[in-house]
Amino acid sequence: MKVYVPRDAAALSVGAEAVARAIARLGPDAEIVRTGSRGMFWLEPLVEIETPAGRVGYGPVEPETVSSIFDGTHPNALGLVEDLPYLKNQERVTFVRCGVTDPLSIADYRAHGGFRGLETARNMAPAAIVEAVLQSGLRGRGGAGFPCGIKWRTVLNEPADQKYIVCNADEGDSGNYADRMLMEGDPFLLIEGMIIAGLAVGANQGYIYVRSEYPHAFRTLNDAVAIARDAGYLQGFDIDVRLGAGAYICGEETALLESLEGRRGQVRPKPPLPAISGLFGKPTVVNNVLTLAAVPTILDKGAEFYRDLGMGRSRGTLAIQLAGNVKHAGLVEKAFGITLREAIYDFGGGTASGRPLRAVQVGGPLGAYFPESLLDTPLDYEAFAARKGMLGHGGVVVFDDTVDLARQARFAMEFCAIESCGKCTPCRVGSTRGVETIDKIIGTHEPAKNLELLRDLCDLMVDGSLCAMGGLTPYPVLSALQHFPEDFAR
Amino acid sequence: MTGCHQKWNAERALATIRGLADVPGALLPVLHALHTDYGHVPDEAVPLIARSLRLSEAEVHGVISFYHDFRRTPPPAHTIRVCRAEACQSMGCEAVFQHLDGSTGPDLAVETVYCLGNCALAPAAMVDSDLVGRFSIAKADRALAELGARP
C-alpha cells in the first residue's frame, strides 16, 4: 500500500515528520512516498493513500490519529483528493506534479511528463526556442512582468564567450511561497527550464540564488541538481545552487548579481541591462523560479497552449498564493483573469478569524492595500496597475477588520528603511523620514502639514529611486492613505 | 544548534577558505562555510579571507556587515526567529513576538525575520532549525520549555 506524506517545509511545520514516523510504525507494510505539498495548507499534514479509484486523502492528520487512516475511520477523511473542489477548479500547469510525485525521483518526473519540453528543445534551433517563448506571451513572474522572450532574444543576440542563466529564487515577499513550494515539490521542473534557457541563449552555466530563509528548498535543490548531474542531464550546462544571506534587496536582479559575485547586495544602475552585461559582466538571463518553470510546458505543449490561457496581455497561469488571515490559505494556480474576490472567497473561504475582511495586500510588501470595494479587480498585471496596485508575484495577504492601515503604512516605510541597500538617497533616507512623518501624523502632530509632506516624499521616492524597493514602497503607503484615511486620523 | 560549532582553528579555517577560493564569487560561500563551522565569522578569519580572495579587509568587513545573516560574535545556544512580515502580522505575530522578547538571555536569542515562506500557516517561526507554523503563545512557551533556555 502506497502512502503519500508531504516533506514540504510548510507541512513539516505542522508535524508531517511525526506523522510519517507514526505511519511507518503502525503500518509496517505501508510504502511511504514523501512528496511536495498540494498547496492546501489548512489540510496539512495531508496524508494520501493509493486506492484502485485514486488517491484518497486525510487531513489534517495528527500522529495520535494515524491508526484510523488505515481502517478508513479517520474523522478528517476527504475522499478522492483530485475531486476536492479546491484542486478540481484550478488549472494546474506549472504545479501539476507538486504534491503528487516524489520530488527527487527522476523516474517519477519522467513518468509524469517531465523532460518532454527539453527533448523538444534539443531538436530546435536556439532562435526557434526563443520564438516559442516569445509567442507564448510568458512574462516574468517575479513581479515586473517583463516579456521573457524579449529578454532571451537580447541575450541570444549578444556575442560573448560566456553567458549565464541566473534563477532568482530570493522570494522574500511576505505572502509569497510559490517558489519555495515548487523548489521543494518539483525541482526537476526548474532544472529543466534552466537547461532549456541555456540551449536557447547559448549559456553553459546556471546559478540558482536561494534565500537563506529557505533551508529546505536549498537542500532539495542541491540534491536534485546532484541527481540530475549523475543522470547525465547537466552535460554542457551545469547548475550551481547558491545561498543568500538574509538581504531582501537581493531579490532585485542587479543586487542579486552583485551578491553572486561576492559583494554587498547593492543595486546597479541600469543600463547596462543584465541581458547585455550581467553576471561577471557577461550577458545573463535573470528569471524568477516560476518563469523558468513555465518554459518546459511551453516547449512540450506548444506556445499556443500557454498563450490561450489568461486575459489581455497576461498570458498563461498565475500562481495565486492565499496567505495571512484567510480560512483556506493555499496555492491556487489559475489562468490570469479571475477576480480577487473569487480567489479570496470561492477558494479561500473568507477570513480565518471569521471577522469581516477589511484590506488585502497583493504583491508583497511593495504592493498596494486594496479595500473591499476593489475586490472585483481581475488578477491581471494591467488591471492592478490601473488601480495603482501591483500584481507582483501573486501573493494575496488578507487582513480582517482589526487591521490598522496607518500602522501598515508605517511598517512599509520601516521595512524599506531596514532593507534598503543604501545606494540611492530617496530610498535610504526617504524611508526613515517616512517613518518619522507617519509617526507625527499618528501622533496628531500637525497632521495636515505632515500628510502633505508624506505625499511629497512618496512622489520623490517613486520618481527618484534607483530600483523598485524605494520606487514602490510608496504604493502600500499611498493606498492606505487613499482607501483608509480614517486610520490616520484616530 | 551551537553545540556542534568548532573552536577557532586558523589552519583549518584557512583550508576551508582556500578550498572555496576558486569558486566564482567565492566570498558568500566562504562566509557561509565559516558560519557552519564556527557559528559566526571570527575576527581572526577576516585577514585570512582577504588574503586568500585578494580583497581588502575593508571589503570583507563591508560584505559581512551588509547581510543580516552574518554575525561577528558567537550565537547563543538557541535562536527563535519570529516572522513579523505582513502575512504573519495579519494573524497576530506581534503578540507572540512581544511575549517571547523578554525571554532573550545568554542561552537564547529571539530575533525578527521577514518571511519564512510559510505565509499560509501564519504566524511562522523558526525554532533553531525547525520551521513552526501557526506559532502561538502556547507553542512559544512549549518551545521555550523544550529548549530549556534560561531567560
Chain B residue numbers with beta carbons less than 8 Å from the beta carbon of A245 are 28, 31-32, 67-70
Share of chain A above pLDDT 70, in %: 100
Read off the pLDDT of each residue in B18-36 and give the average, rounded to a whole number.
98
**Is some CB atom of chain A closer than 8 A to the CB atom of B75?**
no
Say whether A324 and B69 touch across the interface (CB within 8 A).
no
pLDDT at A27: 84
Query: Quick one: closest CA in B to A178, which residue?
Result: B117
d(CA A198, CA A207): 11
| Least Cα separation, residue B7 to chain A (angstroms) | 23
Say whether A246 and B116 touch across the interface (CB within 8 A).
no
Read off the pLDDT of each residue in A350-379 and give the average, rounded to a whole number.
98
Say whether A173 and B131 touch across the interface (CB within 8 A).
no
Say whether B28 and A176 touch across the interface (CB within 8 A).
no
Chain B segment 115-134 residues within 8 A of A by beta carbon are: 115-122, 124, 126, 129-134
Query: Quick one: closest CA in B to A17, which residue?
Result: B130
pLDDT at B1: 44
Query: Quick one: closest CA in A to B81, which residue?
Result: A213
Chain B residue numbers with beta carbons less than 8 Å from the beta carbon of A42 are 120
Chain B residue numbers with beta carbons less than 8 Å from the beta carbon of A392 are none
Given 3.10.20.600, 2.60.40.10, 3.40.50.720, 2.30.40.10, which CATH number is that of A310-400?
3.10.20.600
pLDDT at A72: 82
Interface test with A, best of B20, B30, B121 (most A CBs within 10 A): B121
Measure CA A333 to chain center. Answer: 11
Say whether B120 and A330 touch across the interface (CB within 8 A).
yes
Read off the pLDDT of each residue in A396-405 and give the average, rounded to a whole number.
98
Q: pLDDT digits over A160-180, tens only?
A: 999 999 999 999 999 999 999
pLDDT at A71: 84
Ranges of each domain in chain A: 2-84, 106-307, 310-400, 405-488
Task: Report whether A239 contacts A194 (CB < 8 A).
Answer: yes
3-state secondary structure chain A: CEEEEECCHHHHCCCHHHHHHHHHHHCCCCEEEEECCCCEHHHCCCEEEEECCEEEEECCCCHHHCHHHHCCCCCCEEEEHHHCHHHHCCCCCCCCCCCCCCCCCHHHHHHCCCCHHHHHHHCCCHHHHHHHHHHHCCECCCCCCCEHHHHHHHHHCCCCCCCEEEEEECCCCCCCCHHHHHHHHCHHHHHHHHHHHHHHHCCCEEEEEECCCCHHHHHHHHHHHHHHHHCCCCCCCEEEEEECCCCHHHHCHHHHHHHHCCCCCCCCCCCCCCCCCCHHHCCEEEEEHHHHHHHHHHHHHCHHHHHCCEECCEECEEEEEEEECCCCCEEEEEECCCEHHHHHHHHCCCCCCCCCEEEEEECHHHCCEEEHHHCCCECCHHHHHHCCCCCCCCEEEEEECCCCHHHHHHHHHHHHHHHCCCCCHHHHHHHHHHHHHHHHHHCCCCHHHHHHHHHHHHHHHHHHCCCHHHHHCHHHHHHHHHHCHHHHCC
Say whether A216 and B66 touch across the interface (CB within 8 A).
no
**Is some CB atom of chain A closer than 8 A to the CB atom of B1?**
no
Say whether B120 and A246 touch across the interface (CB within 8 A).
no
Say whether A246 and B66 touch across the interface (CB within 8 A).
no
Interface test with B, best of A164, A213, A222 (most B CBs within 10 A): A213
Task: Report whether A262 contacts B28 (CB < 8 A).
Answer: yes
Interface test with B, best of A7, A44, A164, A174 (most B CBs within 10 A): A174
Amino acid found at A340: L
| Least Cα separation, residue B36 to chain A (angstroms) | 13
Sequence-ordered strand ranges (E) for B1-151: 78-83, 108-113, 125-127, 130-132
Share of chain B above pLDDT 70, in %: 96
pLDDT at B2: 46
Say whether B27 and A262 touch across the interface (CB within 8 A).
yes
Read off the pLDDT of each residue in A380-390 and give the average, rounded to a whole number.
96
Q: Across chain A, what does the average pLDDT equal?
A: 97
Say whether A262 and B53 touch across the interface (CB within 8 A).
yes
Read off the pLDDT of each residue in A180-197 and give the average, rounded to a whole number.
98
Nearest to B87 among A179, A331, A397 (CB): A397
Say whether A213 and B133 touch across the interface (CB within 8 A).
no
The confidence band for B149, taking pLDDT boundaries of 50, 70 and 90, is low
Q: pLDDT digits over A65-74, tens only?
A: 999 998 889 9
Q: pLDDT digits over A308-356, tens only?
A: 999 999 999 999 999 999 999 999 999 999 999 999 999 999 999 999 9
Q: pLDDT digits over A214-262, tens only?
A: 999 999 999 999 999 999 999 999 999 999 999 999 999 999 999 999 9
d(CA A128, CA A132): 6
Read off the pLDDT of each residue in A100-127 and give the average, rounded to a whole number.
98
Say whether B118 and A10 touch across the interface (CB within 8 A).
yes
Q: pLDDT digits over A134-157, tens only?
A: 999 999 999 889 999 999 999 999
pTM, 2 dp: 0.97
**Which neighbouring-strand residues pair with A395?**
A321
Chain B residue numbers with beta carbons less than 8 Å from the beta carbon of A321 are 119-120
User: What CATH topology corresponds to A106-307?
Assistant: Rossmann fold (3.40.50)
Given 1.10.3720.10, 1.20.1440.230, 2.20.25.90, 3.40.50.620, which CATH number is that of A405-488?
1.20.1440.230
Say whether A247 and B129 touch across the interface (CB within 8 A).
no
Say whether A175 and B132 touch across the interface (CB within 8 A).
no
Chain A residue numbers with beta carbons less than 8 Å from the beta carbon of B86 are 174-175, 324, 361, 365, 397, 408, 411
The confidence band for B3, taking pLDDT boundaries of 50, 70 and 90, is low
Q: pLDDT digits over A10-46, tens only?
A: 999 999 999 999 999 998 889 999 999 999 999 999 9
CATH architecture, domain A2-84: 3-Layer(aba) Sandwich (3.40)
pLDDT at A482: 97
Task: Report whether A23 contacts A64 (CB < 8 A).
Answer: no
d(CA B82, CA B120): 15
- The answer to whether domain A310-400 and domain A405-488 are alike in fold is no
Say whether B114 and A174 touch across the interface (CB within 8 A).
yes
**Which neighbouring-strand residues pair with A218?**
none
Say whether A260 and B68 touch across the interface (CB within 8 A).
no
Interface test with A, best of B28, B34, B41, B135 (most A CBs within 10 A): B28
Does position B151 have pLDDT exceeding 80, yes or no?
Answer: no
Does position B102 have pLDDT exceeding 90, yes or no?
Answer: no
